[in-house]
Each structure stands twice: as structure tokens, then as C-alpha cells.
Structure 1
Amino acid sequence: MRLLAVPAILFAALVLAGCTSSSGPESLVSGLPSKETTSSVAQGPVPTADVGAIIAQAENHPEQLAWAGQVPQPQAFESMTDEGMAVPAERPVALVVPDDPAGNTVRTRRAQIYSRQFRDAHPINFGKASPRKLAVHGVDISRWQGDIDWEKLRTQGANFAYIKATDGGDHLDPMFRKNWKRAKDAGLKRGAYHFFYWCRTAGEQADWFIRNVPRDPDALPPVIDVEYNGESSCKYRLSRAKAVEKMQVFMDKLERHYGKRPVIYTAPDFYRDNLTGEFKNHPFWLRSVAAHPSQVYPGRKWLFWQYSGSGLSHGVEGRIDLNVFHGSEDDWHDWVARN
């Protein structure tokens, strides 16, 4: 028992020495930094907000898919027959204010831009105005492209995709939900488009789109597809004034809901009959597969150009529509950030 007292006294002395020392046993190992240094993470300013309140707020506002959500009720000033809707000459873009304005100072990493690797079953020589000279290409798809390998499609040059969501007031593209999720998972910027049906009211169609397309802040602005469709059961041709009025009702409702001004997709014949000189404050997406848009839509500024309906790409069976953004890579990143 007395022999054990000596080690005990020595151990106690070491413990007392450790209490007054600024370094532990690891600091005695020559040439190795302490674990306290190598495992530390530099911390920024500590927020003053109540963390519990932030968590509660996040739980009360999760990102939700609106596949089966409640259809919004038409606004009191909107007629379900679209009659009497005033068409303003100019409207401010709706702004989405984040719950934490300081979040605007956080810079996100720009997505990689892949160069165009697409082929074309019926290539067109656009000459000096070739879409190949523009940097950011993309696609638009629907159920007819089947099951898409989105990762492979992206590396072929699909930096963005517009995905068909709805048409009319009661049809949902059966591949929309899958394509919407998988395109984002693959890193593409994606948006949804609606094929406008002239025999249904604009308010009904807007409600149907809103019910089925999630309000995702990372999504591209929604698109209204307006064109003549010879295969449609709706053979009704509206007057120019009526067509513009219905489009305005639909787009106003989407802009209020998503906080983003809709893009107008159209084709040459419909544009000529209804849209020349109209909607000067809206971005346009123009179909022009035989000539540059400046020749087909003189004087019209455009954001997207659909230059082929016969594209071929790894990751997709069959043909696919090819599009290009009007601007440089920096222009693209700036536009995405603003929208």
C-alpha cells in the first residue's frame, strides 16, 4: 500500500501541472499541430436572430410540390369569360423579397456552361448569324421525348430546359413531375411552359398551371406557348384584340403568383397575326428554324431562339427542339440571378 502512494503523488502532480499549462500532451509531439487547430472551422459573425424562431419559420414554410394543391380562386376583378380586362401599357416586374434580406449578400457558385454538342437531322446554314456563335444552349421537352438521361443531356450542351407542364385547363403532361425533378437534380436550370388553349378561359388555365407547377425560386420564369395548332380540337380563331386580352389575363395571374414575368413563346404565323408590336415589356422566345429571328420577326427583341425542331443528342431518343439564349455566358448568369 505504501509503495502505491508514490505513483499516486506523482500522478496528482501531473494533473495539477496540466491545469496551469497552455498545452496538452499532444503539444509534446514534435512537428505536429494540435487537434484543436486542425479540426477547427473559421466562423463568421454569429447571427443575432433567435435560432429557434428561424427553425420554426422554416418548418412552417417548406418547399411544397403543388401537384394536388388547391386551385386558387379567381381574383374579384377577373371575369371568367375574360371580358373587360384592362390591358396596362406597362407594368412593373413583381419583386420577391426574401425573409432575410441579408441573404442577398451570399454569392452562389455559377453553374458550369457546357458547349453545344448537339447534332441535327436537318441542319440549316444560318451563315454568319449561326446559333453556334452563341454560348448558352438548351432544349425544350415534353412527354414525347420519353425517359431522358438528364445528366448525359446536360453534358451535350443542354444548360437549360423548358419542360411542358400543362395545356388548356385540365391536362398535365404525364412526364412533367419526373422531368421537373430530374432536370434539377442533373444541374440544369429549368422552367415550365403552358400550351395555351383558345377555347378555355385564361383564368381557368392560369389556375391549372399554378396548381401543377411548384413555386420554386430557382426555376426559370414560366412560359406561355401561343400558336396555331391544326391538330387541336379547338378550331376557334380569336380576334387580335381578344387574343392579346386573354394572354394578358393569364400572364398577370402567373406573374403575381411566381413573382416572375412570363416569357412568350410563339411561331411566325401567330406572331404576324396577333403579336406584332404587342407586349414590348415581355421577353420573347421565338421559333425560327429556317432563318435568323431578325429576318422573321423584324424589330422584335428576343431572349430565346428555337432554331431547330430536329435536334439529336445523347441522352434522348428521337428528335428534340434546340434553343439558344441571346447573350454571352456572363449575360446568362446575370439574367438567371435577376430572375
Structure 2
Amino acid sequence: MRRLSGVSAIVIACLALSGCGFGGKRQSAVAERPSRETTSSVRPMSPVPVADIGAADGEAAALQEALAWAGPVPEPQAFMPAERTAGMPIPSERPVAMLAPENPAIGAEPRGRSRIYSHRFRDAKPINFGKRSPRKLAVHGVDVSRWQGNIDWTKLRTQGANFAYIKATDGGDHLDPMFKKNWRRAKEAGLKRGAYHFFYWCRTAGEQADWFIRNVPREAGALPPVIDVEYNGESSCKRRLSPERVREKMQVFMDKLERHYGQRPIIYTAPDFYRDNLRGAFLSHPFWLRSVAAHPSKVYPGRKWVFWQYSGSGLSHGVDGRIDLNVFHGSEEDWHDWVSPRES
């Protein structure tokens, strides 16, 4: 009995110290379990990946600049205006001020035509697209958000990321905590980059546009802004609006961005959302289409597109984990012609 009591005491003490090392690992493994979602825009709310976004000693000036990036933080509204769908919850996320210290430039954006790097990405779940493979197109790129953590943009570019779309905002009050850092570093590495907004159907289109405009700089050389419209099973907003109401809200948002940035926004969407809401609509708008199992011509018949997101399981030097892969619809010459008007 005396020996058994000693063992029991040791076990109890071990449990009190987080299971002698394995209890904490189990908890960490559960927290780090990858999402089953197939797009980097749609993830369940969880801690931000470990990233160097804290301010170090002696960086007060950089901190002040970072805090001023998004302006004052609005107070959450307890009740929705009449334009907002009645009774639906407001996203709980609050804006996150960026605290990334300034770092030496990786390299200035080149003057004139930028170099096009050939495709060197790998894919954890490769698809055989046959004769219409995205590999036959010249200009590849990526889209990223907080879920990619710290990115080595120079390595990513040399792997074939000639452009990047960077997650900026959700709804009317959430700023991706890695946006400012990614926005700056992508430019320093010489990528053409643009920002995208994940649209919430339970917030007014006008306030979402205002939030995006408040947080995304209007810069020469930036790619057109993107409105990301897709179904999100993780969202607190569960209502499915009518196609007419969906298109109405999108139009309000896009018109406001076009007036501010001087560029017509690009519409990003996925097959199910497109089928239910967008077939035959917005014929004068450029589209960015998700199609990871077949060529867009089969999934979105008759729809013209500028970008094709052909994989959600890309692998590349410079990024830990998977990344979305995209391609521009055209040749190198077409790409230069498309981006050149945006440089002025």
C-alpha cells in the first residue's frame, strides 16, 4: 500500500504538470489539425499561425505607423440598419492593428516589365487536366491569407509566383492580421499584388466597401480589387439570399470600389455559388474562377475569365503548408499588356 501510494502521488503530480509532456502535445495537435476547407478564404476561427508580427524594442515609430494603418477601430453595432438582413448575427472578429516591424527591403520592384518566373510549384493532390492544363499557361500566381503564416516572398516568387492576391478584409469590421505585412513584403519581392475582400451576406454592402477602402491603399501598380463571393459553412451568417438580392449587394460593393480605385473589381467565386447566383450575370466584369477538378470551360460554360484557381493544395518553397495556385488567362505578352495600364 505504501508503494502504491507513492506511485499514485507521482501520477497525480505528473498530471498537474500537464501530463509530463504528452498532454500538452495532444492539445496542440488538436489545435493544429488542418481545416477540411478547400479554399484559404474559408477557415474555422482559430489562433493565428505563429508569425513575427510583434513590435520589438526601439521600434516605436514603426509601431505608430502600423497602428495608424486601419484608422480608429469602430464600435460593434448592436442592431443592424434596415439594409442589413434582420436578425442575423454580426461577425465577432474585431479589427487587428498590424504590429509588424519594418524590415530591410528584399528588393525594389523593377521598373518596366517585371521578369516572369516559370511554374515550379508542386501539388499535394495533382489533377490531370489533359490538353488544357494550367501548366501550359505562362503566368502563375498565388493567393494568401493569415493561414499561410510567415511567407518568404522572395523564394515564393522564384518558384513561379508572379502575382499574389492577398486577403485584406472580411465583412465590415475584420482585417486580416497578416495583410499589411504581406502587402509590403510581396511588393518588395517584386510581385504584382492585389487585395481581396471576403463578402458577408449579413452586413450591408456599403459598410463592407467602406471597410475595405479604409484598409487597402490606393496604389499605382496594384491589381484590381477582388470581391470573394462563396458559401461559407463556418460563418455565423446562415441565410441564403435570393440570386437577385445577392447580385444587388455585389453591385453596390463593386460600384463603390470602382469609383475609389479606378479599376473594375474582379469577382472570385466557386462552382456551387456561381451556379446558384451568377450564371449569365455581370458580363462586363472580370472573373476569377475556382475549378480544381476540370477546366473552367467545363465548369463555367460560356464564362470569360481572367484568373483560374486550379489548386487548393499547392506546395512551394517559401510557404509552410498548402497554398492556393492560380494562373492568368493569356500569354506573357497578354499579361504585360494587362498590367501596364495599372502602373500609372
State TM-score, norm by structure 2.
0.69
Deviation at residue 338 of structure 1 after TM alignment: 2.5
Question: SS where residue 225 of structure 1 aligns?
Answer: strand
One-letter code aligned to 1:267: A
Deviation at residue 67 of structure 1 after TM alignment: 2.2
Question: SS where residue 315 of structure 1 aligns?
Answer: coil
1:263 and 1:283 map into 2 onto residues whose CA distance is 5
Task: Give the alignment partner of residue 81 of structure 1, picking from 60, 75, 83.
Answer: 83
Find out whether 1:170 has 2:179 as its counterpart: no
One-letter code aligned to 2:69: W
2:275 and 2:341 map into 1 onto residues whose CA distance is 30
One-letter code aligned to 1:240: P
Deviation at residue 81 of structure 1 after TM alignment: 1.5
Question: SS where residue 185 of structure 2 aligns?
Answer: helix
One-letter code aligned to 1:187: G
One-letter code aligned to 1:118: F
> Any unmatched runs of 5+ in structure 2?
1-65, 74-80, 86-109
> Any unmatched runs of 5+ in structure 1?
1-63, 72-78, 84-106
Aligned to 2:280: 277
Work out whether residues 251 and 262 of structure 1, in 8 Å CA contact, stay in contact via their aligned partners in 2: yes
1:65 and 1:209 map into 2 onto residues whose CA distance is 16
Deviation at residue 280 of structure 1 after TM alignment: 0.5
Work out whether residues 225 and 266 of structure 1, in 8 Å CA contact, stay in contact via their aligned partners in 2: yes
Within a 5 Å distance, the mapping from 1:94-105 to structure 2 comes to: none
Work out whether residues 66 and 212 of structure 1, in 8 Å CA contact, stay in contact via their aligned partners in 2: no
Find out whether 1:266 has 2:269 as its counterpart: yes
One-letter code aligned to 2:254: M
Aligned to 1:313: 316
Aligned to 1:150: 153
Work out whether residues 82 and 245 of structure 1, in 8 Å CA contact, stay in contact via their aligned partners in 2: no
Work out whether residues 142 and 175 of structure 1, in 8 Å CA contact, stay in contact via their aligned partners in 2: yes
Work out whether residues 84 and 203 of structure 2, in 8 Å CA contact, stay in contact via their aligned partners in 1: no
One-letter code aligned to 1:67: W
Find out whether 1:184 has 2:187 as its counterpart: yes
Task: Give the alignment partner of residue 235 of structure 2, picking from 232, 236, 245.
Answer: 232
Q: Percent identity?
A: 82
Change beyond 3 A, Cα 1:65–1:129: farther
Find out whether 1:197 has 2:200 as its counterpart: yes
Question: SS where residue 324 of structure 1 aligns?
Answer: strand
Change beyond 3 A, Cα 1:283–1:243: same
Could you report, residue by residue, the CA deviation over 1:94-146 in whole angstroms, capped at 9, with x for unpaired residues? xxxxxxxxxxxxx9520000000000000000000000000000000000000
1:224 and 1:133 map into 2 onto residues whose CA distance is 27
Find out whether 1:119 has 2:122 as its counterpart: yes
Question: SS where residue 113 of structure 2 aligns?
Answer: coil
RMSD between superposed Cα atoms in Å: 2.1
Question: SS where residue 162 of structure 1 aligns?
Answer: strand
1:167 and 1:337 map into 2 onto residues whose CA distance is 29
Rg: which structure is higher? 1
Work out whether residues 84 and 202 of structure 2, in 8 Å CA contact, stay in contact via their aligned partners in 1: no
Work out whether residues 82 and 246 of structure 1, in 8 Å CA contact, stay in contact via their aligned partners in 2: no
Find out whether 1:290 has 2:281 as its counterpart: no
Work out whether residues 312 and 319 of structure 1, in 8 Å CA contact, stay in contact via their aligned partners in 2: yes
Change beyond 3 A, Cα 1:230–1:150: same
2:282 and 2:188 map into 1 onto residues whose CA distance is 34
2:67 and 2:330 map into 1 onto residues whose CA distance is 32
Change beyond 3 A, Cα 1:321–1:273: same
Task: Give the alignment partner of residue 306 of structure 2, picking from 287, 303, 306.
Answer: 303
One-letter code aligned to 2:307: F
* Count of residue correspondences: 247
Find out whether 1:131 has 2:147 as its counterpart: no
Work out whether residues 189 and 219 of structure 1, in 8 Å CA contact, stay in contact via their aligned partners in 2: yes
Deviation at residue 82 of structure 1 after TM alignment: 7.5
Aligned to 2:54: none
Change beyond 3 A, Cα 1:307–1:164: same
Deviation at residue 261 of structure 1 after TM alignment: 0.5
Deviation at residue 68 of structure 1 after TM alignment: 2.8
Question: SS where residue 250 of structure 1 aligns?
Answer: helix
State TM-score, norm by structure 1.
0.70
1:298 and 1:310 map into 2 onto residues whose CA distance is 24
Work out whether residues 68 and 211 of structure 1, in 8 Å CA contact, stay in contact via their aligned partners in 2: yes
2:217 and 2:72 map into 1 onto residues whose CA distance is 12
Runs of 4 or more above 4 Å deviation: none
Work out whether residues 228 and 270 of structure 1, in 8 Å CA contact, stay in contact via their aligned partners in 2: yes
Task: Give the alignment partner of residue 255 of structure 1, picking from 248, 255, 258.
Answer: 258
